[in-house]
Amino acid sequence: MAQPVRRRPGGGARGRSVHRAGPVHGVSGTDARGRRRPPGRRDRASRPGSTLTLSALALAAFLLGLGPPPGITWSPRAPLEGSLVILAVRSDSVVDVQGTLAGQALHFEREADGFHALGGVPFGSDSAVARVVRSYADGVVDTATVPLPVRRRRLPGERLRVAPEFARPPDSLKERIRLESELVDGVRERAHETPRLWHEPFERPRTSVITSGFGIPRIFNGAVRSRHYGVDFAGQWGAPVHATNRGVVALVADLYYSGTTVLVDHGAGLVTGYFHLSRVFVVPGDTVERGQVIGHVGATGRVTRPHLHWWGTYGEITVDPLDLLKLVPSLEWRATGHAKTRRTDAQR
């Protein structure tokens, strides 16, 4: 086992998280996909006309009753922005399926009733386009383009009043933040190259209460600076943090925004992150199992009190990590909602 990495608490306004005033944990909070956007570059979802065109396609299909091509379905039917979605291709004569959703590769797996794949819906878009390539037993190959209608999240903003230095990092740190963003982006991209490693339902990293949800706008000193692209769990300094499923540790680093950070690559595009830790018990390359203690709650990075920030991505798309708790290994949604954890309240 690796020697624990110890970190001391950060300072700042008491009882408030201020680390999301700029790029979130090395990944920009203003990008429609939840990732850092280089200066001067627009995300594809925000380019003039792109969102309108995709929305019009989706709306026209539903108004005309056209629906998706035969044999292609998805769940949920109208996913929220920044969420996971499952695509299914059903046909006895289909022998292989490839595809993308919102520009990210889909990893279709064959099940008894057809092919299933998990995908991510970008934040800040009214529609996400899936492109599905089906290969048939007789050698025929067809390509279907399917616009998925996306529902916007209606969330109240969280207003924070902090010292100016907490609302925006100094120029001297911009290069560090840029390099850390590239480091995190590399983990997200490489997750598509890893085969799926999890075969049990996901579980929470902690059983404590959730103190801040996914997608909430953060308003610092009267100006919207970012969104909260993760879920915060309450925790005292030194409380255990558990891996939410089997995977390989892809990154252990001390980052400007997220402090002591562990990223776990679960394969087939999925990555989870555990931020602001005080101690770490894993190193890059370690295989972790569901429920394994990988670190302790802390207050490292741009925060003012101990808590765990849990983060989830599908490739370049940041998603609500609570969606992972609804999945079963056959890539279907759990009918009963979020998976239950095996730990007791005494282990919080």
* pLDDT top residue among 254 and 152: 254
Lowest mean pLDDT among 237-251, 298-312, 321-335: 321-335
Q: Give the pLDDT confidence score for residue 160 in this predicted structure.
A: 62
* pLDDT top residue among 230 and 221: 230
Mean pLDDT of the chain: 80
Across residues 61-70, what is the average pLDDT? 59
Locus of tokens 């931020």: 275
Tell me how far apart the alpha carbons of residues 313 and 304 are, in angstroms, rounded to a whole number: 25
Q: Give the pLDDT confidence score for residue 272 in this predicted structure.
A: 99
Sequence-distant (6+) residues with CB within 8 A of 313 are 34, 120, 188, 191, 270, 271, 273, 319
Across residues 93-103, what is the average pLDDT? 97
Across residues 262-270, what is the average pLDDT? 98
Across residues 67-90, what is the average pLDDT? 92
Q: Which domains does the chain have, with CATH numbers?
A: 44-149 (2.60.40), 158-347 (2.70.70.10)
Q: Are 107 and 192 in contact (CB under 8 A)?
A: yes
Per-residue model confidence as pLDDT tens digits over 123-134: 988 889 999 999
Q: Give the pLDDT confidence score for residue 66 in this predicted structure.
A: 55
Checking if the pLDDT of 105 tops 80, the result is yes
Q: Give the pLDDT confidence score for residue 1 in this predicted structure.
A: 42
Across residues 293-303, what is the average pLDDT? 96
Q: Are 37 and 194 in contact (CB under 8 A)?
A: no
Token code pair at residue 1: 């086992």
Give φ, ψ of 54 to 5 degrees. Answer: -65, -40
* pLDDT top residue among 121 and 333: 121
- Most confident range (mean pLDDT) of 6-10, 168-172, 293-297 is 293-297
Q: Express as a percent the part of the chain with pLDDT over 70.
A: 71
Nearest one of 306, 240, 233, 320 to 272, comparing CA atoms = 320
Token code pair at residue 38: 């280089």
Q: Are 250 and 265 in contact (CB under 8 A)?
A: yes
Q: Are 239 and 297 in contact (CB under 8 A)?
A: yes
Lowest mean pLDDT among 56-65, 72-81, 269-278: 56-65
Q: Give the pLDDT confidence score for residue 134 in this predicted structure.
A: 98
Token code pair at residue 147: 């616009």
Q: Give the pLDDT confidence score for residue 164 in this predicted structure.
A: 59
Checking if the pLDDT of 33 tops 80, the result is no
Checking if the pLDDT of 159 tops 80, the result is no
Residues belonging to the chain: 348
Q: What is the 3-state secondary structure (H, E, C) of 2-18?
A: CCCCCCCCCCCCCCCCC
**336, amino acid identity:** T
Q: Give the pLDDT confidence score for residue 348 in this predicted structure.
A: 42
Q: Are 67 and 144 in contact (CB under 8 A)?
A: no
Sign of CA dihedral 221, 224, 225, 230: positive
Q: Are 121 and 319 in contact (CB under 8 A)?
A: yes
Token code pair at residue 27: 């990944």
Q: How confident is the model at residue 224 (pLDDT cuts 50, 70, 90)?
A: low
**189, amino acid identity:** E
Nearest one of 142, 175, 161, 125 to 23, comparing CA atoms = 175
Q: Give the pLDDT confidence score for residue 53 in this predicted structure.
A: 36
User: What is the SS3 assignment for 153?
Assistant: coil
User: What is the SS3 assignment for 274?
Assistant: strand
Residues pairing with 44 in the sheet = none
